[in-house]
Structure 1
Amino acid sequence: MLKAFWLWLGRVLGKLLLTLALLGLLGWGVGELYYAQKFSGPVANEEQIPPDEAALTRLIIEDAVRVVEQHRDNTRVLRDAHAKAHGCVKGEVQVLDDLDADLRQGVFSEPGKTWQAWVRLSNGNAYPQFDRARDARGMAIKLLDVPGEKLMHSPAHASEQDFVMFNHPVFFVRDVAEYRSNFAAQADGKKVLAFFPSWDPRTWEVRHLFIALKTLAPAPESPVATTYNSIAPYKLGPANIKYRVVPAPQNCPPYNLPEQNQALPNFLRNALYQQLSLDRMPACFELQVQKQNAQYYMPIEDPSVEWSEKISPFQSVARITLPPQDFDSREQNLFCDNLSFNPWHSLAEHRPIGGINRLRKAVYEAVSAYRHERNDAPQGQPAAQPE
Structure 2
Amino acid sequence: MASKIKYNPDFDSLTSKELKLLEKACETIRKFVSKSDKINQVNYKTRDAHVTAYSTLKGTFVTNENFEEHSIFPKQELDCLIRISNAHMKLVSQKRTIPAYGFSVKISDKADTIANFPLVNFPLFPINNVSRFLKIFIAINRFFAGNILQKFWNLMKLTKNFFLVSPSFFHPSFMAEVFKLLINQNNFILSFDYHSIGVYRLGNHLVKLKLVPKNVPTKIDENRIDISIKNYLKNNDYELELMVQYCYDLENQPVNQLNKMWKNSEFVSIGTIKITELIDKNNQWVENLSFNPFENIEELRPVGRIQKLRDEAYKISFTTRKNNGL
**TM-score of the two chains, using structure 1 as the length reference:** 0.69
Could you say which structure has the greater relative contact order, defined with CA pairs below 8 angstroms and 6 or more residues apart?
2
Matched position secondary structure for 1:306:
coil
Distance 2:272 2:28 in 1: 38
Per-residue deviation at 1:196? 3.4
Deviations along 1:252-285, one digit per CA (max 9) or x if unpaired, are: xxx76984332xxxx1111111022x32x22111
Q: Does 1:183 align with 2:137?
A: yes
Distance 2:241 2:29 in 1: 32
Quote the residue 1:77 is aligned against.
Answer: 45
Which of 295, 299, 302 aligns to 1:352? It is 302
Quote the residue 1:26 is aligned against.
Answer: none
Distance 2:250 2:313 in 1: 32
Per-residue deviation at 1:299? 2.0
Tell whether the 8 Å contact from 2:60 to 2:275 is kept in structure 1 after alignment: yes
Within 5 Å, give how 1:353-368 maps onto structure 2: 353-368=303-318
Quote the residue 2:225 is aligned against.
Answer: 268
Matched position secondary structure for 1:344:
helix
Quote the residue 2:146 is aligned against.
Answer: none
Structure 1 195/287 Cα, relative in aligned 2: closer, same or farther at 3 Å?
farther
Which of 196, 199, 213 aligns to 2:160? It is 196
Q: 1:290 is matched by which residue type in structure 2?
A: Q
Quote the residue 1:318 is aligned against.
Answer: 271
Deviations along 1:118-148, one digit per CA (max 9) or x if unpaired, are: 11111110112134221410011111227xx
Q: 1:181 is matched by which residue type in structure 2?
A: K
Distance 2:243 2:53 in 1: 24
Q: Does 1:244 align with 2:199?
A: no
Which of 89, 114, 117 aligns to 2:80? It is 117
Which of 56, 75, 88 aligns to 1:88? It is 56
Distance 1:164 1:312 in 2: 22
Tell whether the 8 Å contact from 1:243 to 1:290 is kept in structure 2 after alignment: yes
Per-residue deviation at 1:158? 4.6
Size of the aligned set, in residue pairs, is 300
Distance 2:278 2:250 in 1: 48
Matched position secondary structure for 1:224:
helix
Per-residue deviation at 1:161? 2.1
Q: Does 1:60 align with 2:25?
A: yes
Q: Does 1:304 align with 2:259?
A: yes
Larger Rg: 1
Distance 1:77 1:269 in 2: 22
Distance 1:117 1:49 in 2: 31
Tell whether the 8 Å contact from 1:284 to 1:320 is kept in structure 2 after alignment: yes
Q: Does 1:370 align with 2:320?
A: yes
Matched position secondary structure for 2:190:
coil
Matched position secondary structure for 1:164:
strand
Structure 1 181/366 Cα, relative in aligned 2: closer, same or farther at 3 Å?
same
Q: Does 1:205 align with 2:158?
A: no
Structure 1 295/84 Cα, relative in aligned 2: closer, same or farther at 3 Å?
closer
Quote the residue 1:27 is aligned against.
Answer: none
Ranges in structure 2 where 5+ consecutive residues have no aligned partner: 144-150
Which of 123, 136, 142 aligns to 2:106? It is 142
Matched position secondary structure for 1:54:
helix
Tell whether the 8 Å contact from 2:188 to 2:220 is kept in structure 1 after alignment: no
Structure 1 289/301 Cα, relative in aligned 2: closer, same or farther at 3 Å?
same
Tell whether the 8 Å contact from 2:87 to 2:101 is kept in structure 1 after alignment: yes
Matched position secondary structure for 2:28:
helix
Matched position secondary structure for 2:244:
strand
Distance 1:74 1:180 in 2: 28
Distance 2:188 2:270 in 1: 24
Per-residue deviation at 1:185? 2.8
Matched position secondary structure for 2:256:
coil
Q: 2:138 is matched by which residue type in structure 1?
A: A
Distance 2:281 2:267 in 1: 36
Tell whether the 8 Å contact from 2:100 to 2:121 is kept in structure 1 after alignment: yes
Which of 155, 163, 166 aligns to 2:117? It is 163
Structure 1 329/129 Cα, relative in aligned 2: closer, same or farther at 3 Å?
closer
Distance 2:41 2:170 in 1: 29
Distance 1:174 1:302 in 2: 6
Instruction: Give the % identical residues.
Output: 21
Which of 275, 280, 288 aligns to 2:243? It is 288
**TM-score of the two chains, using structure 2 as the length reference:** 0.81
Distance 2:218 2:161 in 1: 44
Deviations along 1:285-305, one digit per CA (max 9) or x if unpaired, are: 100001112252322223222
Matched position secondary structure for 2:119:
strand
Q: 1:136 is matched by which residue type in structure 2?
A: A
